[in-house]
Amino acid sequence: MSMRPFTRLTSGHSKKLGNHEHAVAIHYMYYNFARIHQSLRVTPAMEAGISDHVWSLDKIIDLL
């Protein structure tokens, strides 16, 4: 429910496949690298040893 293109009964869906793919990619990047999870107390990427810090949204956008 945290990603609007996947929720039902809304008009927030992507009309082009490319836009949908980018929205999914940004969501997964934020979820794994920028969002601190309550049960882990760190991001999943930090828990897996992929990253050593919490990424900011600016850094994620710079990757685009």
* Mean pLDDT of the chain, nearest integer: 84
Q: Which residue has the higher pLDDT, 24 or 45?
A: 45
pTM: 0.74
pLDDT digits (tens, 9 = 90+) for 47-64: 999 999 999 999 998 987
Give 1's pLDDT tier (boundaries 50, 70, 90).
low
How far, CA to CA in Å, does 1 sit from each of 4, 10, 58?
7, 12, 23
The structural domain count of the chain equals 1
Range of the domain at 37: 4-63
